Amino acid sequence: MTYQEHFEQIVQDQLARVEAMKKAPAAPDFAKKKKIIIGTIDGDGIGPIIMDSARQILETLLAEDIASGRIELRRIEGLTIENRIAKMETVPADVLAEIKKCDLLLKGPTTTPGKGSDMPNLESANVTLRRELDLFANVRPVAIPEKDIDWIFFRENTEGEYALGSRGVEINDDISIDFKVTTTIGTTRLARAAFEYAKNNGNQNVTVVTKANIMKKTDGKFLSLCMDVAKDYPEIEVDDWYVDIMAANLVSDLFASRFHVMILPNLYGDIITDEAAQLQGGVGTAGSANIGGRYAMFEAIHGSAPRMVAEGIAEYANPASICRAAVMMLRHMAMTEPAAKLELALDQAADVLDMPGDGTGNTAADFTAFVLARL
């Protein structure tokens, strides 16, 4: 295939994706569902350790609903780097079939082979799942009460650079090209979700983050579409910033507390939310929600930490991030009381336990026991 044919195929695939998005189902009403299946996925590296903690906590917290059959915690096997390489599939077809039988996913971190590694060039499992399940909104909250910071980020999840990051072309030895995509429906549905959140939480101000002065077609379209949606919410204050100055604003005492709801394209959202989580106390302290129509996936925002495994200190991994994701999942299920109960226990754990992740302090087992004792 020539690079011209390769690019034409990318365009055709994206046009087909747009048509599929137009037919996406509405979100389920969990309050009315007779049975909710929560798929739990260990992932790689420290994933099995932190997911074991999360499962124990959910089994205790939701014991009554699990006993009655209303909620099922279902283990999904096979989304490991070893199995993915063995089958040479980013998400093996049999694993994806089992995932699609669930209503919600609570997922541990998965390893993505990097350039220069001795592993095959497989796409990120997260990117594939977001695309296959059409999880268009990545929602990440960050709160730092002592600095009057209460942020929530709405990161576009299925487009931008990540959607086509493994489909670039090497024209020759001298030049390589990657691609970026922005669609009307993809951006509009994300913006509307963010503005609805802002309206439902006291008309909080909304900030759109792009590099529209440089990426005029893609980021320019993203910014323009967000501002079009903003017209339907005249009571909400809206502004926009370029991503580079936004990165500086988040660490500015003058600006940081002014922001509330933020809308970002995929790549910028990934970088900015990691920065924000670090300000909160590290990426191990933050959870993440991936929301679509039919499905939703909740996960830790950190990676699989292979160095901790290699150094033999994986037992010191902090389950806080995956447990924060579980709080978001419970709220998505309209289970506000269990969510608040778990969140309080996690806040207490953060105040009491010492979990630097360097082989000292408390272990994941200590964390689990501490939280369970407060449930």
String of DSSP letters for 3-52: HHHHHHHHHHHHHHHHHHHTTPPPPP-TTT-S-EEEEEE--STTHHHHHH
d(CA 210, CA 263): 9
- Give me the pLDDT at residue 116, please: 63
Q: Is the pLDDT of residue 68 over 70?
A: yes
CB 135 within 8 A of CB 292: yes
Predicted confidence (pLDDT) per residue in 197-218, tens digit: 899 888 899 999 999 999 999 9
- Give me the pLDDT at residue 115, please: 67
Block residue for tokens 């995509």: 181
Q: Is 359 helix (H, G, I), strand (E, B) or coil?
A: coil
Predicted confidence (pLDDT) per residue in 27-47, tens digit: 788 888 899 999 999 999 999
- Give me the pLDDT at residue 200, please: 84
Q: Is 368 helix (H, G, I), strand (E, B) or coil?
A: helix
Buried/exposed 308-327: b ≥16 CB within 10 Å, e otherwise: bbeeebbebbbbbbbbbbbb
Highest mean pLDDT among 118-132, 232-246, 280-294: 232-246
- 101: exposed, middle or buried (Cβ count in 10 Å: 0-12, 13-18, 19+): exposed
Gyration radius of the chain over CA positions: 21
Predicted confidence (pLDDT) per residue in 115-162, tens digit: 667 777 788 898 899 889 989 999 988 988 889 999 999 999 889 998
Domains of the chain in start order, with CATH, are 26-113+120-135+292-375 (3.40.718.10), 140-281 (3.40.718.10)
Tokens of 51: 């997911």
d(CA 125, CA 43): 10
| Higher pLDDT, residue 214 or 331 | 214
> What is the chain's mean pLDDT, rounded?
92
String of DSSP letters for 41-81: E--STTHHHHHHHHHHHHHHHTHHHHHHTSEEEEE----SH
- Give me the pLDDT at residue 284, please: 62
| Higher pLDDT, residue 191 or 33 | 191
List the strands of the sheet with 206-210, edge to edge: 71-75, 36-41, 104-107, 296-300, 287-291, 137-144, 149-156, 261-264, 206-210, 238-242
Q: pTM for the whole thing?
A: 0.79
Query: What torsion, rounded to 10 degrees, do the Cα atoms 196, 201, 202, 204 define?
Result: -70
- pLDDT over 70, % of the chain: 98
Q: Is the pLDDT of residue 178 over 80?
A: yes
State the average pLDDT over residues 346-359: 92
Block residue for tokens 């001298």: 174
Low-confidence winner among 275-289, 337-351, 361-375 (lowest mean pLDDT): 275-289
Predicted confidence (pLDDT) per residue in 301-317, tens digit: 788 999 999 999 999 99
- Give me the pLDDT at residue 337, please: 93
